Chains A and B, each alone.
Chain A
Amino acid sequence: MASPSNILRWLFCATVSLGFSADAHAVDPLVIEAEQTRIETIQRISAPTVAIFDDEGTNGGSGVLIRPDGLAVTNFHVVSDLGPFMKCGLNDGNVYEAVIVGIDPTGDVALVQLLGRDDFPVAELGDSDTTRIGDWVYVVGNPFLLATDFTPTVTYGIVSGVHRYQYPSGTILEYTDCLQVDASINPGNSGGPLFNEQGQLIGINGRASFEKRGRVNIGAGYAISINQIKNFLDHLQSGRIVDHATLGATVRSQSDGAVVVDQILPQSEAYRRGLRQGDEIVSFAGRPIRSVNQFKNILGIYPDGWKRPLVYRRDGEKHEVMVRLRPLHSRSELMPKRAQLAPPPRQKPDDPEEDDSEHPPTPEIPSGHPMAHLFKQPRIPEEYADLYEARDGYANYRFNLVARDRIVDEISRLGEFPDGAWKITGTSASGESFELNLNDEVAALTLGAESFLQNVDEPFRDEPPGTGGLLAAMHHLRQMLIAPEDRFTEFYYLGSEPLEGDGETVEVLIATRGSMTSRWYFRQSDGAFIGYDTEIEPDADPCELRIMNWKTIEGRTFPAEIAVRHAGEDLGKWSIDGLTFREANR
């Protein structure tokens, strides 16, 4: 016998199911909910999406804001013809001035800074390595420059492929480790954001396969992964024309599927760490290597100068080394050759007769309006004129000065260091007491009964032998602490990198004089100066110094303990007891 409450329950079920079947046209609440979520996501991701134009509004593309002060990412090929200043429209209906910050011609990325606000809406950066084939994605941007009121166009699709490699198309530009999507990417979408279903930024749309159907999307578009862009973000903020990297070795596939070193530059760090022709590449940057494309894919997402772990196999034995990557291009190769990097000649997008494509079609760069190729005198708005400074090797030298001076401030906090003769005393790694004399003429070290001398006018040598040039490095430290702007021929902010390849993120300054260069490391989290590498000539293994402790000597902060390393070998710690100065002998 059923209890009353049971009957009630049955009744409910019956009522509910009747209700559902009678109301067959009612929309599933889940659909309503999904729709609402999608509307909200699109509102959220539209706000930081930027429409980029030249002054006439005839040429441009898209971009996306990533920092409230107006920092935005776009494609290099979108801004390459626009000059240092451009106009940017947001979906609030306003047009903002923007200035170029830095460019990466190889990776087709550029940073621009929108001006006039410090509360711009920003996109949340996602992790493109977690993106999977089949994930839903949104492409937001300004295709065909349709957005006269800057409300962006949104297209929706799925991820068709991940970790794709796209060959260079007649320029130095190549897309490595990119995302392939079937959401429409059309001319004008270039530089705009690719969002995942959660509305996180996972890529910058830059290319699409166009073919016989004209310059409209045919189901295959490509986005630069946001993880690659993250690697380059600080480099791009240096205002420089940044470069990609090479290992200094070329690889090929063997018939057994192994990827082996084909040729290797003897000047490369990979060679110095033992890599030779015929060695099998097992993994690179922590990812297993099974094809040449995969190797290029991984290499392509790192800036020149980063250290990356490499595992290679020779005679069945695995070797793991950390190697610093080399620049992919010479400086002159990276100077913008406008004719070369200009978008390809446009075809009428809706001409069905067009059937002159080569196979396989090289994915082209969707860019803006047919008038893109017209050149104008660069326009510099008066109120923002001090935000731009032209200089060879830079997209905007002003940004380098700002970043560099921010870090130089950190160094000046150590104290005022006089330019006279310095005497540093302490205990070497081997436990002997040392005296180091540094002045504008010589660097001299007395270590127990031995002494070492380096005349600063002569080429720097590996003194004491086997250190990679400890004397040279100490000479550079003195120059750095006295007046880095005056005492180096080149002195600039590089960007950031993981220290030693797998450590904390450090910001890097580069200081060069003659053939000698030092890289100075500052912890990104708190700006602390933590060490530097000095190479006495290009492609020499540097003398690496890491400051373990500081002490205060006569009101100045100076290293108390320095760990020294050279060519992958720890040379122990030197401790410093005293630092005294004598007036310059002029």
Chain B
Amino acid sequence: MIFRNVRHLRSLTAILVMLLSVASLAHAQSTREAIKSVLPRVVKIFGAGGIKNLESYGSGFLVSADGHIVTVWSHVLDADTVTVVLDDGRHYQAELVGAEPSLELAVLKIDAQDLPYFDLNQLSEAGPGTRVLAFSNVFEVAVGDEPVSVVHGVVAAIDDLSARSGRYDVTYSGPVYVVDAVTNNSGAAGGVLTTREGGLLGMIGRQLQNTQSNTWLNYAMPISELATTIREIQTGDFSRNHDDESTEIVDNFDAIDFGIVLVPDVVERTPAYVDAVLDGSPAKSEGLQPDDLIVFANNRLVHSCQAFEEELGRLQPADDLIVVVRRGGTLLTIPLTAPRAIPQR
């Protein structure tokens, strides 16, 4: 009897193993199927750039059958014609429907029908440890009717983005998926991060460096953070389209309002040297002197007269302004306060 039991157990185990094998095979199949289904939903975008360190290509993904495409808000879109190429090689001129720079988000539209797309009503989410795939037009490897590239990885963490692009902090500071694979290369921005089953997790962002460590980040913005805005832009309900957002220049204060006269701004990056300090001004009383070089304003690096003016322009009445200047070999901190009212000009 016991002998028989063992035999039964063996055959049972064998059956179980077989069943599991089938399941695993199905899983492998499903990853391949997933890749097959995602590839035609990701597009190649060609636009402005092409000069040193600014690529003229990027990625995007379809979110409607009639050609709405989500991508990152980047210089690539700053062109007279932005071309979208589908995985089968079809070319389209894209128009910009809207953008939300604070989410690094733009929505394009091409004139096409019956396209495969990601359904934004079916969002996937994933925790750390989830195995993922990333699809993008990295390094412009794919042109014409070639599908984009796919790499594999694991969600290493979900955390708030703290990053910079060159000298500038990034406006988006919400949560991101941090990935262990190198997903964010040139041209990858606007691509997608999916589960192994092809479920849309997020949009691959621009190439950014961590503010603390300077390391290059591999991340994607969760689609759940973007979906509402994408839908609003798509339906035309979005109030802040990119035109009135980006053309609105805040210019509340000038250097002269603090009693500071900068050297004439003659070249693109004129260093922010103080030319003169007005008598009786707060700057004078705080000890600012001609020939001081302004290097920081409110902890932001000031690399030109213009950058300093922009910084002042953003101040609200009575805001603190901490200026760091270089005088000779030393750095001095000069605390100032913005006037209580915006001057009429």
Contact = CB atoms under 8 A, between A and B. Distances in A.
Contacts of B123: none
B142 interface: yes
Contact of B55 (A158, A166, A213, A360): A360
B187 A182 contact: no
Given A158-B152, A220-B141, A360 B187 contact: yes
Interface size class of B (residues with CB under 8 A): 35 or more
A126 interface: no
Given A359-B49, A359-B55, A212 B216 contact: yes
A471 to B, nearest CB: 50
B216 A209 contact: no
A253 B150 CA distance: 27
B178 to A, nearest CB: 15
A219 B180 CA distance: 11
Contacts of A166: 141
Given A161-B147, A360-B57, A180 B141 contact: yes
Contact of B152 (A30, A182, A352): A182
A450 interface: no
A211 B138 CA distance: 12
A132 interface: yes
Contact of A219 (B8, B24, B35, B183): B183
A290 interface: yes
Contacts of A30: 17, 20-21, 24
Contact of A359 (B12, B54, B141): B54
Given A134-B150, A219-B182, A290-B89, A209 B12 contact: no
B306 interface: no
Given A16-B12, A257-B89, 8 more contacts: A16-B9, A29-B17, A134-B32, A212-B216, A290-B89, A291-B143, A357-B53, A360-B186
Nearest to A290: B145
B130 interface: no
Contacts of B39: 133
B50 interface: yes
Contacts of A133: 35, 39, 147, 150
A515 B106 CA distance: 65
Nearest to B183: A219
Given A219-B183, A257-B89, A359-B186, A293 B149 contact: no
A70 B36 CA distance: 40
Contacts of A172: none
Nearest to B57: A360
Contacts of B12: 12, 16
A141 B283 CA distance: 65
Contacts of B150: 133-134, 158, 160-161, 182
B138 A219 contact: yes
A134 B198 CA distance: 12
Listed residue (A28, A291, A359) with the most chain B CB atoms within 10 angstroms of its CB? A359
B289 interface: no
A211 B32 contact: no
B185 A291 contact: no
Q: Is the interface of A mostly helix, strand, loop or mixed?
A: loop
12 contacts: A16-B13, A34-B24, A133-B35, A158-B152, A160-B151, A182-B152, A220-B185, A352-B216, A359-B52, A359-B186, A360-B139, A361-B139
Contacts of B9: 12, 16
Contacts, number: 114
A492 B167 CA distance: 63
Nearest to A9: B8
A355 interface: yes
A131 to B, nearest CB: 12
Contact of B146 (A12, A28, A161): A161
Listed residue (A28, A29, A218) with the most chain B CB atoms within 10 angstroms of its CB? A218
A68 interface: no
Interface in B226-284: none
Listed residue (A182, A219, A363) with the most chain B CB atoms within 10 angstroms of its CB? A219
Which 4 A-B residue pairs are closest in the complex by CB-CB distance? Answer: A219-B182, A291-B144, A182-B151, A359-B55
B20 A209 contact: no
Interface in A140-168: 157-158, 160-161, 163-164, 166
Interface size class of A (residues with CB under 8 A): 35 or more
A291 B89 contact: yes
B251 to A, nearest CB: 32
Contacts of B197: none
B53 A209 contact: no
Interface in A168-187: 180, 182
A211 B185 contact: yes
A220 B149 contact: yes
Nearest to A12: B8
B181 interface: yes
A10 to B, nearest CB: 12
Interface in B124-151: 138-151
Contacts of A294: 144-145
B155 to A, nearest CB: 16
A26 B118 CA distance: 38
A60 B12 CA distance: 54
Contacts of B8: 12
Contact of B181 (A182, A211, A352): A182
A359 B89 contact: no
Listed residue (B49, B89, B182, B214) with the most chain A CB atoms within 10 angstroms of its CB? B182
Nearest to A212: B216
Given A257-B89, A360-B187, A132 B32 contact: yes
A529 B247 CA distance: 79
Contacts of A34: 24
A23 interface: no
A365 to B, nearest CB: 15
A527 B214 CA distance: 64
Contacts of B89: 257, 290-291
B344 interface: no
B31 interface: yes
